[in-house]
Structure 1
């Protein structure tokens, strides 16, 4: 770090290079990237984390910034893409929980008018809002943000600044994370999918026996009641599996 003090320009360039990777990651990860977090808070958080990580990775970052202007511009672009790719892994995983909430609502017939999303400037189903917000709180209670910062630090070893970014490897990592996320979310939503299939099959068979009775109309409250009761019984285990499986997705990077 003493060499950096005698070279203020190099220190600023190194800090900005670290900010590109860390800021791009914070730009897309769940929680920090929501519309409820002001832009100033996100910016200052990214700068603070960059200043905290820079002394730890000084030997990895500082020697790479003393290059020509065109090479430094390429370095900035590659660092931004790498940071965004790391953040997208967590983003995909969290979007998978929203997918589970949507599937759950459809399978139990809970089609109430949507309300304001608690995280984004959009509308969302009430049950999906409950599940996604609880899942986000669960992740941060288990130091999800610390895991992401550790992943960014370790990425300087796995993806050093001197090599730039490899599009093929990044696409493979994102594809692996999507595949792993889909399997985990299918596991979480499988009880509700099975419940919806069995309930609607039974209702269809009863409707065949008594076609004059509007069985589908009569059975809707029971479908919703049974689905909400199943949600009450299984939401704790669902969120626990969701939180425990995050490390498995991060290994796909």
Structure 2
């Protein structure tokens, strides 16, 4: 059993800096619908759970001075925020492609409610993002998040100053990979949108006296819903698989 000393409490606070900053940006945990106190309790609980395994890494920082302590706090907070931000890129990319999918399906203009974010999104987008967030917990990815945080101490030692250039490179690479993933999973709707717009444009040229847009809109929406029915499960499976792979490999 680890004895509780002032250094132990200080090191536990430093662990909380990394974990709290990560969960502050981590999808699912950072939703405004989750009460602030509940998020704080999750961060404290994760800190206490990981402390026995991570505390030995903080042994070199026994009784640090104020300047050293401030530097470590900033470094740990920035490291945790970087991990959470890279995880959030997955859901930002999914939200972006879901908005494009809703537009191609004729559902982009429908009013929605601000369920997961502060701003309202189309119901189509909310359905995709909320399902992905639910699958994150159903498939036990929240436990993988905690495991990845524990593993981050072996890759980024406590107190290591964040290299700005390396951090920006990681952010750029992660953004590129996530949006490429989003284009892959949204490609059926992109192709559907191109075909539908070409067909509607051709019909409008052939019969300019008929309001083709209003006549074709129900068929466009029906086709988009059928496409979502057949491709939606595979789309979300690919997304969760990519997110899980990143959590396991980093």
Distance 1:113 1:199, change over 3 A: closer
- Superposition CA RMSD, Å: 1.6
Cα distance in 1 for residues equivalent to 2:225 and 2:12: 50
Counterparts in 2 of 1:218 and 1:65: CA distance versus 1, 3 Å: farther
- 1:40-51 maps to which residues of 2 (within 5 A)? 40-51=37-48
Deviations 1:23-68 (A, max 9, x none): 0011110111011111111111111111111110121023325321
Q: Which of 147, 153, 156 in structure 2 is aligned with 1:156?
A: 153
**Alpha-carbon shift at residue 175 of structure 1 (Å):** 1.3
CA contact (8 A) 1:17 1:79 kept: yes
Q: Secondary structure at the match of 1:135?
A: helix
TM-score of the superposed pair, with normalisation by structure 1: 0.93
1:207 aligned residue? 204
TM-score if structure 2 supplies the norm length? Answer: 0.94
1:245 paired with 2:242, answer yes
Structure 1 segment 91-240 matched on structure 2, within 5 A: 91-240=88-237
Measured in 1, the distance between the counterparts of 2:229 and 2:62 equals: 54
Answer yes or no: is the 8 Å Cα contact 1:78–1:164 preserved in 2. yes
The alpha-carbon deviation at position 98 of structure 1 amounts to 1.0
SS of residue matched to 2:190 = helix
Bigger CA drift: 139-148 or 114-123? Answer: 114-123
**1:53 maps onto 2:53 in alignment:** no
CA distance in 2, matches of 1:113, 1:200: 19
Gaps of 5+ in 1: none
| 8 Å Cα contact 1:65-1:72 kept in structure 2 | no
Counterparts of 1:232 and 1:108 in 2: how far apart (Å)? Answer: 12
